[in-house]
């Protein structure tokens, strides 16, 4: 909070916990954070994403960020759904895998995510899938996870769907199909409805417009959003609490949605990574994405992007390459406490000495067989960015 870039009046009127946060920040000046992160101070920072959280994809929340344990929420949702919603949180993804191996979770339904490739400690993930009595995968291509499934349901791509998207600034936007689904593919909406019908349940939402209307009925934050309004008015930002509410492009102009109207700041100390390098695994592997490909590469590996980046290579600093006596293009073995892979080398000073980088787009470079199962204590986000490895010529 140095440099005077603080609205002291705003903080005094609108937040709690500021003294505790200031004390925590005093211990983490840019120079110390730079040493911890290995990143120059002027380059620090990382964005976050919102994802499907709005619609209740988090295990302890219903649509509109309503807690499953809230009695008022429970009654309102039950009145709309016609069934009692759960009163206790579900499992986060790493907890699901552990539960499957322990025999507490017997079926897994995966929609649009290649967990066998993108989740950490892939051997553990595959063991969890194998332990389930039933694995259903709903996907547009036969991904690594789909190849391990008992049932594969062919889904449609975003170009073939009707409905809405919500982006990071809370903006509902209409999506309309540009193409018809190929072959036996169906939209996720139609597949879920069909599965429910086969199980003897009528979800009461014959189309995406009806589903959004139901969401408006159960979640006050979305009460004013409908396909009709989006078709007539264009995008709408939530909160949008009634049919005549224009929505709120900017949040919390007057007060925060807390009992005292103030934001509660949290001060959490830095914790070291779950595993550290040692003499056997002396280097740090950072995993992430390449510009040419998207996430698991499920779609981009089937496009001309392969001309730009046909395979994965290990980013290695020239100083480490000299120590290992390897040249650009040399095949090396990258090993961790969980597995090993073989991959070609790309010499670059984009990484620091002692660190290497791999993306997880390519199944033949099974990067997540190396990464650990350590997760953040609060969010259960995996520790993708810090894995102790050794690198040796193949």
Give the H or E element holding residue 324.
helix 318-324
Q: Is residue 254 part of a domain?
A: no
**Domain co-membership, 229 together with 293:** no
Residues 165 and 150 in one domain: yes
One domain for residues 73 and 115:
yes
Domain co-membership, 6 together with 39: yes
Report the distance separating Cα 41 and Cα 151, nearest Å.
49
Model pLDDT for residues 287-296, shown as the tens digit of each residue: 999 988 888 8
Residues near 12 by beta carbon (within 8 Å), at least 6 away in sequence? none
Pairwise CA distance, residues 56 & 60, whole Å = 8
What does the alpha-carbon distance between residue 53 and residue 58 come to, in Å, rounded to a whole number? 6
CB-based contact 355:304 (threshold 8 Å): no
Task: Check whether 13 has a pLDDT greater than 90.
Answer: no
Same domain, 139 and 10: no
Give the lowest-confidence range in 85-89, 203-207, 293-297. Answer: 293-297
We report the CATH number of the domain holding residue 182 as: 3.40.50.740
Is residue 78 domain-resident?
A: yes
Q: Beta-carbon neighbour count of residue 349 at 10 Å?
A: 10
- Is the confidence at residue 1, as pLDDT, over 80? no
Give the count of domains, the chain: 3
Given this model, what pLDDT does residue 5 score? Answer: 77
- Please answer whether residues 298 and 113 qualify as being in contact, where contact means their C-beta atoms are separated by less than 8 angstroms: no
pLDDT tens across 328-350, in order? 999 999 999 999 999 999 999 99
What domain range is 6 assigned to?
A: 2-46
Residues 117 and 225 in one domain: yes
Query: Residue 388: which of 313, 335, 320 has the closest Cα?
Result: 335
Same domain assignment for residues 34 and 140:
no
pLDDT in the model for residue 158: 86
Task: Give this prediction's pTM.
Answer: 0.81
Kindly state the average pLDDT of the residues 82-104. Answer: 93
- Residue range 12-34: mean pLDDT, rounded: 85
Neighbours of 215 (CB within 10 A): 22
The Cα 391–Cα 370 span in angstroms is 12
């Amino acid at each position: 909070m140095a440099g005077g870039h603080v609205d002291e009046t705003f903080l005094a009127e609108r937040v709690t916990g500021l003294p505790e946060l200031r004390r925590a920040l005093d211990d983490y000046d840019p120079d110390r954070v730079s040493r911890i992160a290995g990143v120059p101070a002027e380059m620090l920072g990382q964005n976050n994403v919102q994802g499907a959280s709005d619609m209740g994809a988090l295990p302890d929340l219903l649509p509109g960020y309503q807690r499953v344990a809230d009695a008022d929420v429970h009654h309102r949702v039950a009145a709309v759904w016609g069934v009692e919603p759960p009163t206790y949180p579900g499992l986060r993804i790493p907890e699901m895998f552990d539960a499957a191996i322990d025999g507490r979770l017997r079926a897994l339904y995966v929609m649009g995510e290649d967990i066998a490739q993108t989740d950490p400690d892939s051997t553990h993930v595959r063991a969890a899938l194998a332990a389930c009595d039933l694995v259903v995968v709903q996907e547009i291509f036969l991904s690594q996870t789909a190849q391990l499934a008992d049932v594969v349901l062919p889904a449609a791509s975003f170009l073939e769907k009707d409905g809405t998207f919500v982006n990071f600034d809370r903006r509902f936007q209409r999506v309309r199909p540009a193409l018809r689904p190929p072959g036996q593919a169906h939209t996720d909406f139609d597949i879920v409805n069909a599965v429910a019908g086969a199980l003897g349940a009528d979800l009461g939402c014959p189309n995406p417009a009806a589903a959004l209307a139901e969401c408006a009925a159960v979640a006050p934050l979305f009460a004013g959003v409908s396909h009709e309004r989006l078709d007539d008015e264009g995008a709408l930002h939530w909160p949008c609490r009634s049919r005549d509410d224009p929505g709120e492009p900017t949040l919390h102009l007057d007060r925060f949605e807390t009992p005292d109207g103030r934001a509660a700041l949290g001060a959490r100390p830095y914790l070291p990574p779950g595993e550290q390098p040692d003499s056997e695994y002396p280097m740090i592997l950072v995993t992430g994405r390449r510009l040419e490909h998207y996430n698991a590469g499920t779609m981009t590996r089937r496009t001309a992007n392969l001309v730009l980046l046909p395979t994965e290579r290990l980013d290695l600093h020239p100083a480490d390459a000299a120590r290992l006596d390897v040249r650009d293009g040399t095949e090396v073995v990258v090993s961790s406490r969980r597995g090993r892979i073989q991959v070609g080398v790309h010499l670059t000073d984009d990484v620091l000495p002692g660190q290497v980088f791999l993306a997880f787009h390519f199944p033949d470079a099974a990067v997540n067989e190396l990464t650990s199962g350590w997760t953040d204590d609060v969010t259960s986000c995996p520790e993708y960015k810090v894995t102790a490895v050794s690198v040796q010529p193949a």
